[in-house]
Amino acid sequence: QDPYYRFNDLNYRWISLDNWTYSKEFKIPFDHSKWQKVILIFEGIDTVTKILLNNVTLGKTDNMFNRYSFDITGVVRDVNSIELRFQSAVLYAAEQSKAHTGYQVPPNCPPLVQKGECHVNFIRKEQCSFSWDWGPSFPTQGIWKDVRIEAYNICHLNYFTFSPTYDSTSHEWNLEIQSSFDVVSSKPVGGQVVVAIPKLQTQRTYSIELQPGERIVELLVKIDKNVSVENWWPHGHGNQMGYNMTILFKLDGDLNIEKSAKVYFRTVELIEEPIEGSSGLSFYFKINGFPIFLKGSNWIPADSFQDRVTSDLLRLLLQSAVDANMNTLRVWGGGIYEQDEFYELCDQLGIMIWQDFMFACALYPTDQSFMDSVSAEVAYQIRRLKSHPSIIIWSGNNENEAALMMNWYGIPPSDYPTYIKDYVMLYVKNIREVVLAEDSTRPFIASSPTNGAESVAEGWVSHYPHDTHFGDVHYYSYSSDCWNWELFPKARFVSEYGYQSWPSFSTLEKVSSKEDWSFRSKFSLHRQHHEHGNTEMLYQAGLHFRLPQSTDPLRTFRDTIYLTQVVQAQCVKIETEFYRRSRSEIVNGEGHTMGALYWQLNDIWQAPSWASLEYGGKWKMLHYFAQHFFAALLPVGFEDNNVFYVYGVSDLHSDCRLTLTVRVHMWSSLKPVCSRVTKHFVIKPGEAILIYKKPVPSLLRRCSNCTRQSCVVSFYLSTDSKPLGPTNYHFLSSLREAVGLQKAHITALISQQGDTFVFDLETSAVAPFVWLDVGSIPGRFSDNGFLMAEKTRTILFYPWKATSKSELEQSFHVTSLTDIY
């Protein structure tokens, strides 16, 4: 069965506890005796194997993230048998842990609620494959990337990689190209290298001579500064211009080796400097010299089985990030270094990547074989990835500085020097050294969260890594009221924060049966891998909403799913808007927030999680909200001491002359009861400023008979009387206290326009959180989860696969808040 169906993560666990052998007989389709060297290359093996060719042991593997190459010249025949003898990753990890007798390297096992396996920190494998608080335990074994045989005479190009660098004194671009050769000729090999970038009128020829053995050739290509070079910009800030480059090696013996690549030119700086009126240091990124607020989310593996992650799925998920106005994803350190196509798509789409190395929520061993394996892994991954402009920072690990210094694992004080020494040895003396040797074009931080330069000053581990005056923070709180913005950290950069919700019924239905469809079923508990997660969702919902009250258990389940999505969307909206409005101000010594990356973008399976995209790519309500709260131009409303404030936030590169329209609506009426337009004001590039301020009592007094409970505020920005950016809203009371809300009868007339479908909606009453759903028909709406405060509204549906009007009509279902009571 589908391994994701119901309880199969437990039913199929035996597979990962067994040792498996992959074997194959194959013929070589050429005369191998005519070649000086024949090599066998594995781009990726997951994970622990002994490899035999024709019963001769070639070697062993123990790192999923490394590339392995074996010289098979003396072993290969016309007809061959190959064997990969895999050892269970679970058993190997347990063995490695047991052999580490000097001291414990915690944590030993994941929390029981995750139903996972132990000692994942002892194996260089996708850390979440042993389970996580949003994902199952499927400790896979197999050949997860390409395998091939290559044969050559004279010499062979192992890899080539490059980095564009900008010389700010001479104002010119250079291209540093590094090529690695295996020279099998017994005498030196001479020749020429021709590098051509036609669109930049650049062609350079170099003479080279390669001595026998492994050789590295480094070239510096100067781009003529009289030629205009167009920079690569993140999404929302400019174009993603790239240039085609060819590199041709014309070597002795009529050997021609040609490679082509896309070259992008951009600079990145991580700015950590003093801020007036605040202790500590800033923490923000400049791209091409321009300060950019990083808006986005965190990326986890899109499936437990990587061969199911197709090009189409990657494009769908990454396009959805851009469609929600994101410009950044953090590739989280408990998953994998993503496939080449992931980074190529990010280059094309303008998505900046914060790239973790694959270490997460654990301490790690530092014995020599482990450290050597990590060095090789990091060097290989940097060479593979550093040419991508999308990657803007390398980060050593996820949460390990915090885990150590906040003592998650109850380490006795007397043992601290040992663990701190190990931490510095792994991330600083090993990983950082490799990064500095391989790539000088990007910043490196040892962990996330970290206090950045302050952590470095404290010996790479800070006594309090969550300090809001330095570096980045991760923030979670499920027991406090998410509508209270005063709880959120006014930090320099927030790289993780979030709330859980359940995925749509149509997503769950595919992996469950009728008896599973209730919030307290065995299945619902089994799928929830975060301790008390289901209870926390209902608690947060109960603070501002009444819980579903149907007597039909299936209806209650569907309504509860809907409500968890409402709550998640609203919580992350309030928190993100707080971070965005904090970019230009210092309050009580805190502020200048320059990044908001919520946890998490995508799902690994069908289960409750923090994601805004469900397994397969369907948008949750949160993702629709992200479209608005990450808009380039945004009005943000909030209250402080009974006064209603609106800030205007701009990510644009030029001044904006605007007005703000503030409207008050009664829950009982589809016509606004009053409306006010401000005078003109200007928002400068990259600024968040106060544009409106009114005590709530006086705002309501002007509007006939309005109370906090009976009315809601909406507001939007305009230029020359044309609305610009999203209409935002502010609730004056909890919705469970709302007065005048009526059951909304909402109808939709569906028509087709080209590849798009038009939904003409009409409502009988004001409806909060209007949710349009077409079941499992793939696609997304232009907006969803919205407040419908007018009688009619037109929404578009963009299908991802061919569908029809009749199919949409049959699947269409609309829910708004009053439907669940």
How many angstroms from the chain centroid is the CA of residue 216? 34
**Alpha-carbon distance 425 to 446, whole Å?**
11
Q: Pick the catalytic residue: 399, 454, 577, 614?
A: 399
Residue with tokens 């969260």, as numbered in its chain:
449
**Alpha-carbon distance 344 to 56, whole Å?**
39
**Alpha-carbon distance 111 to 131, whole Å?**
10
How many angstroms from the chain centroid is the CA of residue 473? 16
Dmax over CA atoms of the chain, in Å, equals 94
Omega cis (within 30) before 723: no
Q: What is the DSSP letter of 425?
A: I
Annotated catalytic residue 496: yes
CB atoms closer than 10 angstroms to residue 338: 21
What are the Cα distances from residue 400, in Å, to 65, 334, 463, 474, 482?
20, 11, 13, 12, 27
Omega cis (within 30) before 576: no
How many angstroms from the chain centroid is the CA of residue 374? 23
- Burial label for 709, CB within 10 Å (0-12, 13-18, 19+), is middle
The CA-based angle 309-313-317, given to 5 degrees, is: 120
Give which of 127, 148, 132 is closest to 47, Cα–Cα: 127
**Alpha-carbon distance 223 to 177, whole Å?**
13
**Alpha-carbon distance 496 to 494, whole Å?**
6
- Strand pairing category for 813-815 and 189-197: unpaired
Annotated catalytic residue 377: no
**Alpha-carbon distance 382 to 376, whole Å?**
10
Check if the beta carbon of residue 7 is closer than 8 Å to that of residue 526.
Answer: yes
Q: Which amino acid is at 457?
A: A
Which two tokens mark 414? 């007397």
Q: Pick the catalytic residue: 496, 575, 577, 590?
A: 496
Residues classed as catalytic: 399, 496
